[in-house]
Amino acid sequence: MTSILNADLHCHSVVSDGTLTPEALAARAKANGVELWALTDHDEIGGQLRAAAAARALGMHYLTGVEISVTFANETVHIVGLGFDATDPRIMSGLQATRGGRGQRAQEMSAQLAKVGIQGAYEGALKFVGNPELISRTHFARFLVESGVCRDTPEVFRKYLTDGKPGFVPHRWASLQQAVQWITECGGVAVIAHPGRYRFTANEQYALFSEFKAHGGQAVEVVTGSHSPSEYVTYADMAKEFGLAASRGSDFHSPDESHTDLGALPYLSGELTPVWELLAHRIQ
Ligand code: AMP
Ligand code: MN
Ligand code: MN
Ligand code: MN
């Protein structure tokens, strides 16, 4: 397994805020040359059996996956879990609790948008939702594009769905410790997702990495669709500094919205430990 280069360990299906089914993602990954794949829906593992079966049918290696929403230093941070036992009730109940606040949050987002003249956003967003327990900002973004309020989803986030904008509702997710614990106690490895995306000071970022490590976290995404080439270098250095393994994933959501396709990223630098080396015994 250590000869694997084209691993894509981060993407989303209709089970969260992607637009493709697990089966269609598996086929797309295979067509793009992915050798080892993980589906990492937000706060939800309902697609894992389908993804693993589709990968098996295509002769592609698979790791279970999830992307957990966490609140750290008043920011939302994402922690990817890989290789855990997806039938373990401990991770299932933790994720269920994390999903729990999304319905109410969506209603509040809709009420705020109504105040700035955008009516029916909750019902509009629901039309794009594949899993009723997982209504996300992405579904609102698709509605605002469809209804002509904005040109594309980045514009919706810029104008309406980020901190300080009229459709943004602050939310408290899982703690860093909980997320790492759910993943590791179920046999998996916890990974800091796209660290370059958080608006942290150097001190806050240092705290994130050191607390993550202290809780038992073992890896960080270095090569991701969310990082620039210079961030590949920055986070490769951080991985080495903190003694973390490295992960690689496109964060693909949709053929229409994602600029990085499945499997289409530079390989990890040879001086890093690939996260799948820690998970050789969990690869299906
Ligand atoms: P939520 O979990 O409901 O807060 O939604 C978060 C999701 O919104 C992320 O996983 C991305 O898919 C999407 N997202 C966040 N920020 C942006 C952005 N600036 N542009 C496009 N999509 C974004
Ligand atoms: Mn997403
Ligand atoms: Mn994310
Ligand atoms: Mn993601």
Each residue of 93-118: pLDDT tens digit? Answer: 999 999 999 999 999 999 999 999 99
pLDDT digits (tens, 9 = 90+) for 8-43: 999 999 999 999 999 999 999 999 999 999 999 999
Q: Which of 275, 232, 231, 244 is nearest to 10 (CA)?
A: 275
157 lines ligand 1 (CB under 6 A): yes
- What is the maximum alpha-carbon separation in the chain? 55
User: Which residue do the tokens 């809709």 mark?
Assistant: 110
Residue 170 confidence class, pLDDT cut points 50, 70, 90: very high
Q: Of all atoms in ligand 1, which is nearest to the CA of residue 137?
A: 3
Nearest-CA residue for ligand 1 atom 17 is 157
Percent of the chain scored above 90 by pLDDT? 99
- 87 pLDDT band, cuts 50/70/90, is very high
- Return the ligand 1 atom nearest residue 105 CA: 3
Distance of CA 69 to the CA centre of its chain: 8
Q: Which ligand is nearest to the CA of 43?
A: 1
- Residue 199, class by beta-carbon neighbours within 10 Å (0-12 exposed, 13-18 middle, 19+ buried)? exposed
CA distance 158 to 156: 5
Contact 54, 80 (CB under 8 A): no
Instruction: Give the pLDDT mean for 250-272.
Output: 96
pLDDT range class, residue 1, cuts 50, 70, 90: low
C-alpha angle 240/276/22, rounded to 5°? 125
* 218 pLDDT more than 90: yes
- What would the mean pLDDT of 178-182 be, rounded to a whole number? 98
How large is the average pLDDT for residues 68-85? 98
- For the Cβ of 16 lying below 6 angstroms from any atom of ligand 1, the answer is no
**Measured distance CA(58)–CA(70) in Å, rounded:** 33
pLDDT > 70 fraction of the chain, expressed in percent and rounded:
99
Q: Let me know: does 132 contact 186? Beta carbons within 8 Å.
A: no
Residue nearest to atom 11 of ligand 1 (CA): 138
- Of 21, 48, 32, 3, which Cα lies nearest the Cα of 284? 48
What would the mean pLDDT of 192-220 be, rounded to a whole number?
A: 98
Q: What is the pLDDT of residues 222-252, one digit of tens each?
A: 999 999 999 999 999 999 999 999 999 999 9
pLDDT at 55 over 90: yes
Phi, psi of 185 (to 5 degrees): -70, -15
Over 60: is that where the pLDDT of 2 sits?
A: no
**Residue 76, helix vs strand vs coil:** strand
Q: What is the mean pLDDT of residues 82-94?
A: 98
Q: How far apart, in whole angstroms, are the C-alpha atoms of residue 45 and residue 65?
A: 7
Query: Closest ligand to 79 CA?
Result: 3
Burial 73-107 (b: 16+ CB within 10 A, else e): eeeebbbbbbbbebebeebbebbeebbeebeebbe
Contacts 24+ apart (CB under 8 A), 255-260: 255/19, 255/20, 256/19, 257/19, 257/152, 257/153, 258/225, 259/225, 260/225
Q: How far is the CA of 41 from the centre of ligand 2 (A)?
A: 8
What is the average pLDDT score of the chain? 97
In the predicted model, what is the mean pLDDT of residues 47-69? 98
For residues 169 and 114, is the Cβ–Cβ distance under 8 A? no
Q: How far is CA 101 from CA 52, 170, 232, 276, in A?
A: 28, 11, 34, 32
Residue of 138, 169, 251 best suited for mutating to test ligand 1, as the one with most atoms within 8 Å of CB = 138
